[in-house]
Structure 1
Amino acid sequence: MNFFHPRKGRCSLDEMIAVIQSYVQEDRNAEYKVVIGTDSQTRERQTLFVTAIIVQRVGKGAIFFYTRHLHRAMKDLRYRIYRETEYSLKCVELLKEKGFFGFSVNIPMEIHLDVGQQGETRKLIQEVVGWVTAVGYTAKIKPESYAASQVADRFTK
């Protein structure tokens, strides 16, 4: 799986983790938070999913990476939102498999979901938030879900 950094370009999972670890080591006394969110954009023939991985140095900036997945066009909103949630959770599991959370167990994790009280996605809030919290993560919805609704969204265009 390829990840992208806005300035460094394409990198592997191992390279991304090394950059994140280096970022955290730069200021070991800072408070950090890992935020993961996915957004999608359906065009005529395909749907593009973008998952953003943000490491926030709380109050002092952040770094982020993103990855993309292409599928046949998915017109069903419920299916797309479920797939977005699935990609975010798979990304967490991928990071865990590589030992990402082993270097600092004190970094909190949030999953940002592209659902909110306005619009059609409000019907899906309980389902996807329940899914994320059932597997042990904190879920955020719009307007607090900036990883999905702002960062990932920017790279689906």
Structure 2
Amino acid sequence: MDTLNNDFQNLSRKNMSFSQVFQYIKQFIEKDPNGCYKLMFGTDSQVHPEYTRFITGIVIHCKTKGAWACIRKVMVPRKMINLHERISLETTLTEEVVSMFSDEKKEQLIDIILPNIYKGASFSIEGHIDIGSGSRNKTKIFVDEMVLRMETLGIEPKIKPDSFVASSYANHFTK
């Protein structure tokens, strides 16, 4: 797996370091400290003939101010056809990016909003998992395991249809 230091990007910036990503998120929140923010993470993968591409999305969303987002791309140089292995690595890559947001970094973000919580400001963190519990969904047998992994990190797990960072945003970049 390639894990470069400057491995985050979005449509307007390439080669961003995690510290640059964190600054963009912080500045986004500082623009409106009264907002309702969700910091969301999720990974999706796509098997290609010679490799498997994993995309982890980071999205900071405010109901009134839109969103700022970026991705991190990881390539595994083989076809990963085992579904459990792929879902597990998707969750691991999400956990890896979530863990970059240390308690100190999370506190920096919360401190921006904290003076305004009585005015309606809020901040939450979600881990979006590209799995579903529907009876026809092949991934339903992994739901409990992957949800527990997100809960262990102290973030709110979301599965389909509520896991749009993984199932829609990240998915867009896996093709």
TM-score bracket, shorter-length normalisation: over 0.9
1:13-92 matched pairs, under 5 angstroms: 13-71=18-76, 72-92=78-98
Pick aligned residue for 1:123 from 130, 141, 149: 141
* Residues 57-66 or 108-117, more deviating: 57-66
Instruction: After superposition, give the CA deviation of every residue in 1:25-62 in whole Å (9 maximum; x if it has no partner).
Output: 11111111100000000111211100000000124311
Aligned to 2:124: 108
Quick one: distance in 2 between partners of 1:20 and 1:70?
25
Instruction: After superposition, give the CA deviation of every residue in 1:46-101 in whole Å (9 maximum; x if it has no partner).
Output: 1110000000012431110100001122110001001000110110111227x431
Match of 1:75, SS? Answer: coil
Quick one: distance in 1 between partners of 2:138 and 2:85?
13
- Identical amino acids, percent of aligned pairs: 29
Query: Is the CA contact 2:58–2:69 (under 8 Å) kept in the aligned structure 1?
Result: yes
- Return 5+ residue gaps in structure 2 as ranges: 115-122
Aligned to 1:139: 157
Aligned to 2:101: 95
Quick one: distance in 1 between partners of 2:24 and 2:64?
20
The structure with the larger Rg is 2
Quick one: distance in 2 between partners of 1:17 and 1:129?
25
Query: Is the CA contact 2:37–2:63 (under 8 Å) kept in the aligned structure 1?
Result: yes
TM-score, normalising length: structure 1 = 0.93
Moved >3 Å (runs of 4+): none
